[in-house]
Amino acid sequence: MNDELPKSEKYKQSLDARFASRPHTYERLQQIADMMDQAIAEGCTADEAEALAIEQIEKLGRELLTDWAQQKQQQTLQQNQKDNPSTIGHIKKK
């Protein structure tokens, strides 16, 4: 069995470099790896490890989409304020 990852020109940067600007995501990936290592060390079954991995990857996906949406909203707000300086951000009325 070949355990080496494929070497592709597509992935010129290491994951460390790619996630340097996303420390929260990098930390979550480390946590998931730690959880999997611990589960394996505790002797979990393949089904249990699979369920844990799926659950954690789904959570990570939701976190990534939330981060993306917040970043996109911030970019849109900044662009709108740049295009029309008299525009104010949405604030709740008192």
Question: Rg of the chain over CA atoms, in angstroms?
Answer: 20
The answer to the question of residue 49 being in a domain is: yes
Task: Please give the tally of structural domains in the chain.
Answer: 1
Those residues whose C-beta lies under 8 Å from the C-beta of residue 26, and which sit 6 or more positions away, are 15, 16, 19, 20
The answer to the question of residue 5 being in a domain is no
Token digits of residue 22: 């996303």
Is 39 a domain residue?
A: yes
User: What are 37-91's pLDDT values in tens digits?
Assistant: 999 999 999 999 999 999 999 999 999 899 889 999 999 988 888 888 776 666 6
6 belongs to a structural domain? no
What's the pTM value of the predicted model, to 2 decimals? Answer: 0.64
Residue 92 falls within a domain, yes or no? no
The number of residues making up the chain comes to 94
Structure token digits, residue 92: 């709740």
Q: Which domain holds residue 31?
A: 14-81
